[in-house]
A = this chain, B = another copy of it.
Amino acid sequence: MNNKPTLHTSFSPSLINLYDVSNSIVVIIDVLRATSTIATALYNGAKFVIPVDSVSRCIELGKQISAITAGERDGKVAPGLEYGNSPFEYPREFIENKTLVLTTTNGTRLLQMVLEKGANEIITGSFPNLSAVCNHLIKKKKNVILGCAAWKDRVNIEDSLFAGAVIANVKDHFNINCDSSTASEILYNNAKDNLFGFMHTNNASHYHRLMNYGLEKDIRYCLTSDGANVLPEYEDGKLFVR
């Protein structure tokens, strides 16, 4: 063996308790679309993105700190909120120097879970900020847990693909003895030449959900690397870029 740090992949919030999050960098992955939108808003100059777990908390906090509130339920802006989950709603001219309070279900829940388990180094990952995530993980030389937010605890293809993309880029720097990581990388290698086509051909469940909402443009953007290449770090309830 060698002194490389370890890397594990958790396919679902239901599996995260199998891993030692307190001693690792945890990457929260919610490709369609929470973590892609977080990267985009921060890339475009948002001061903070504050993830919250409910619409009511989003409304309350938005009022309290005069922030923009955003979140969707069933593909529409949730009643009481101002904006949705699309990365295209947050161009620089709109979001620069502002704070966005964003309610998401799967991603925020996983974030809360790892916080409760003692995680103290949390970042968010998505294809739009793939390189920033990989570079950070390589530089830090710490154990890593790639935490897929999944869909209501069910494993999804797109978060697994992103885990695989990270692994394909960083694997020489880690000891990886984790079948979920292996499976993710194989999936990614099958898909990498055309991620959108792969999601379509393989009938990915969330792909279909979003296509039915007319969100093909969002999906294509969320599957494209480095369009918003910043590193969102979580501290004291907020995501921001150092």
Chain A interface residues (CB < 8 Å from chain B): 11-12, 14-15, 18, 151-157, 160, 176-180, 182-183, 186-187, 190, 202-206
In this complex, what residue of B is CB-closest to A16?
A: B14
Cβ-defined contact, A155 with B186, below 8 A = no
In this complex, what residue of B is CB-closest to A157?
A: B179
Nearest CB of chain B from residue A190's CB, rounded to whole Å:
6
Nearest CB of chain B from residue A201's CB, rounded to whole Å:
10
Q: How many copies of this protein are present in the complex?
A: 2
- Determine the chain B residues whose CB is within 8 A of the CB of A183 once the complex forms: 155, 157, 160, 183, 187
- Determine the chain B residues whose CB is within 8 A of the CB of A152 once the complex forms: 18
**Bound state CA distance, A14 and B150, in angstroms?**
14
In this complex, what residue of B is CB-closest to A158?
A: B179
**Bound state CA distance, A122 and B12, in angstroms?**
25
